[in-house]
Amino acid sequence: MALAAIPRPELIRTAAISPDPVYQGLRIVRCQTDEMAEKHYSNNRYEFQHLPADYTPVTAVLCHKGAVGQMFGERGRVVAMLHPNLKMFTQLIQYDPSNPPRENYAALEMTRAHDQTQSDFKGQKAANKDDFKNYILEGIWGNRTLFLPVITGWQSRTVFERTVFVAFDEGDANAMYGMLYLPKAPVMQADGQTQTAALFAVADSRDAVDAGALENLLVTVEIELNVDERKAGQSFADRNGRGSKKNRNLVIGFDTL
């Protein structure tokens, strides 16, 4: 006797989630304020919930940063603030500046930033990576308290239309708490390249694995979404330009204002 097939509800395609103009067109599932959206999400009705090979889901705060509003146009930024452990950090970021993955950086609109990063890591940054790695390992061994700066990065606009944020708390007009479904594509660092390279090196070390650091070492990351190479270059120039220790000749090439 043939068993009757269990009916499967049709999945809600990611493309069917309306882009939110307040967040530069990011697709947002508002579970707190949309009862039907919450029901669909709880019942795993969304396409992105069934694509583990394409997304890394991570708890995040989605927020506006900088000057926002109509008068500022695209100068306002859409940023996700994350607090992953070391294992999730490497899965999210993917881009180890000292040993980058093999990607088509032209297709990702990352060619210029990638080339500059590789040029930088042929110099002092390569040596600094080992110093930072040793500092982190000392913290893992319990010899010191770690003070790790926030790592800031960006993900290409080429994957932005596939990015989804599921909002659980919308109480703040300029920030939402929820789950970010981040496409599995490299996140380039705007600031914190040396620390990122050191963290990748630590994650590959036996000492970190034996000490449980993959689960217990926590990192704070800020990822700007919907960024092209021009915006990424300007971000580098603004962060490392006026009044900083960076080489002005290096920074000025990215300053487009």
* Sequential pLDDT tens for the chain (257 residues): 555 555 567 899 999 999 999 899 999 999 999 999 999 999 999 999 999 999 999 999 999 887 666 544 555 789 999 999 999 999 999 999 888 888 888 888 888 888 877 777 777 777 889 999 999 999 999 999 999 999 999 999 999 999 999 999 999 988 999 999 999 999 998 889 999 999 999 999 998 889 999 999 999 999 999 998 787 777 777 766 655 555 555 555 555 55
Assign 3-class secondary structure to 137-204.
HHHHCCCCCCCCCCEEEEEEHHHHHHCEEEEEEEEECCEEEEEEEEECCCCEEEECHHHHHHHHHHHC
In a domain, 219, yes or no: yes
Q: How many domains does the chain have?
A: 1
In a domain, 5, yes or no: no
In a domain, 43, yes or no: yes
In a domain, 201, yes or no: yes
In a domain, 10, yes or no: no
Residue ranges making up the domain that contains 227: 17-252
Which string of b and e fits 183-196 if b means at least 16 CB within 10 Å? bebbbbbbbbbbbb
In a domain, 239, yes or no: yes
